[in-house]
Structure 1
Amino acid sequence: MKKTKELMISRGHTYYQSRKLDRVPREAVEELLGIKFADENRFDEFLHNKE
């Protein structure tokens, strides 16, 4: 989480300087880890595709 927030701050997103913020973009996590998460694991996809 800390490294991802540092990455976002370095890109000019000062919003991530907040200590209370506990969410970061999925894409930033994937970039730092060097992997791509499968879309089937996305909870937000589940919420948006409800019938």
Structure 2
Amino acid sequence: MTLLFSSKGAEESCRLKGYVATMRKQGRGVMETMKSMFAGKRIMPMLGWSA
């Protein structure tokens, strides 16, 4: 549980939440995103702007 109380743990938690939020905005499910991430096959978010 020290992960949640250290500054490194807080930083990692924010990065994880940000990644999941980005993937949700791009139509990916949370479970799909988490499974791929923990399997070592992280899905890269689409970058850029399309109008």
Q: Give the TM-score of the pair, scaled to structure 2.
A: 0.32
RCO higher in structure (CA 8 A, sep ≥6): 1
Q: Give the TM-score of the pair, scaled to structure 1.
A: 0.32
